[in-house]
A = this chain, B = another copy of it.
């Protein structure tokens, strides 16, 4: 949690979906600083509500539950759905059907801003020696990346058609620390994740904007020039972990697709069980 909040904007009621997932758990305590009430949801029971919280159990593929979930909400931080490469069925349910349910609920309930956890895997089939910006065509590296590309296009359509604003965060690798040399490029610290989500929530005008979520890493494959209006400025870096990571992983197998492409191991995950 940041010592100083990243913004003085406060929302009456903020919704965090996927609050029981990896990043949902990181964000749950942090987002309280930016709202009066934090509504949290997950497909599994989240237990008791903390002070200032409302706890919902809701499944993305259930349109009625989503409609109820978005009632009287000012903005959504959508971390729910599938977040790894998996067989098509759960991805379809959580990330395709679930996204349509979420945006239809937002449209019907008048929610005006969604921060959407997209993924760098939307462009995972670019090479690691290419620098990609947010306007280049998608090259998803599997069903998961494909479903996130779908989510971005959906968000674009709800903006053009219905005026609902979205910031799509193409999150890199948000962990306590980078685990390998690929993550020296993709690392997003938890504090920078908070900065990013808050910037996306509070930037005055965003339409549908796309931004890569990464810390201020020395090595990067992603160019956020077209997203500077969001006002995200990372303050951490993978560089403090570089000596240890490099010492552990001296060798790169340059014939391995996981080493060649930005998506890493995702590019060779087996699509079906």
Point out residues on A near B: beta carbons under 8 Å. 7-10, 88, 92, 96-97, 100, 104, 112, 125, 127-131, 135-142, 145-146, 149-150, 153-154, 156-157, 160-161, 165, 181-182, 184-185, 199, 202-207, 209, 217-221, 223, 225-233, 242-244, 246-247, 250, 252, 254, 259-260, 267, 271-272
Measured CB to CB, the nearest residue on chain B to A11 is B250
Q: Which listed residue (B139, B181, B185) contacts A156, Cβ 8 A?
A: B139
Q: When the two chains form their complex, are residues A205 and B254 in contact, meaning their CB atoms are under 8 A apart?
A: yes
A230 to B140, CA, bound (A): 23
Shortest A60–chain B CB gap in Å is 14
Greatest chain B CB density within 10 A among A157, A199, A220 is at: A157
Q: When the two chains form their complex, are residues B135 and A229 in contact, meaning their CB atoms are under 8 A apart?
A: no
Q: From known contacts A100-B88, A205-B128, A219-B203, infer whether A139 and B160 are also in contact, taking CB-CB under 8 Å.
A: yes
Q: When the two chains form their complex, are residues A205 and B252 in contact, meaning their CB atoms are under 8 A apart?
A: yes
Residues from chain B with Cβ under 8 Å of A146 in the complex: 150, 153-154, 157
Additional A-B contacts beyond A160-B267, A219-B228, A220-B228 (18; CB < 8 A): A7-B246, A8-B243, A88-B100, A104-B271, A125-B160, A127-B207, A128-B229, A129-B207, A131-B225, A131-B226, A135-B137, A137-B156, A141-B157, A141-B161, A185-B229, A205-B260, A219-B229, A219-B230
A9 to B184, CA, bound (A): 14
Residues from chain B with Cβ under 8 Å of A209 in the complex: 129
Shortest A265–chain B CB gap in Å is 13
Residues from chain B with Cβ under 8 Å of A207 in the complex: 127, 129
Measured CB to CB, the nearest residue on chain B to A126 is B160
- Pairs A-B, 6 closest by C-beta atoms: A219-B231, A8-B246, A125-B160, A128-B205, A8-B247, A129-B207
Measured CB to CB, the nearest residue on chain B to A232 is B218
